[in-house]
């Protein structure tokens, strides 16, 4: 028996990635984004004008902006040694937003899985 994962047709999915960028698939078309700037991906949006370059730069104002994207969980693609401060974790918790910091590959795969389950997931790819 053959099983295949079927993603919602209208949701942004990560088609492929490497150290130079990601290819995002939406409605059968693919678009490439370079990894030299921050990229925010939701099931319905691709936001390229984010000024955050490191998770240590995130402020409460950024969290309020993230909240407008209505996320259940935010996945940050960052170096493995990066961590949020306890105060920032409390701020995310206060807004009922789950957060994870992962390597690029893990973040892309997790994003695709959560989106395929219909979960409102935000992926933030940091340069």
Domain boundaries, the chain: 13-125
pLDDT tens for each residue of 4-20: 455 556 899 999 998 88
- Distance between CA atoms of residues 96 and 56, nearest Å: 20
pLDDT digits (tens, 9 = 90+) for 57-112: 898 889 999 999 999 999 999 876 778 888 899 999 999 999 999 999 999 999 99
Each residue of 31-46: pLDDT tens digit? 888 778 889 999 999 9
Q: With 0-12 CB in 10 A as exposed, 13-18 as middle and 19+ as buried, what is 37? A: middle
Task: Tell me which CATH homologous superfamily contains domain 13-125.
Answer: MTH938-like (3.40.1230.10)
Judge whether 15 and 23 are in contact, CB under 8 Å. Answer: yes
């Amino acid at each position: 028996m053959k099983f295949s994962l079927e993603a919602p047709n209208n949701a942004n999915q990560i088609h492929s990635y490497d150290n130079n960028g990601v290819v995002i698939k939406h409605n059968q078309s693919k678009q490439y984004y370079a990894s030299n700037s921050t990229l925010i991906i939701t099931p319905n949006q691709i936001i390229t004008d984010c000024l955050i370059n490191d998770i240590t730069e995130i402020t409460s104002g950024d969290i309020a902006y993230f909240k407008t994207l209505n996320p259940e969980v935010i996945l940050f693609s960052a170096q493995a040694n990066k961590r949020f401060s306890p105060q920032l974790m409390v701020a995310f918790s206060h807004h009922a937003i789950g957060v994870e910091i992962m390597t690029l590959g893990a973040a892309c795969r997790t994003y695709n899985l959560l989106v395929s389950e219909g979960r409102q997931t935000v992926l933030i790819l940091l340069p």
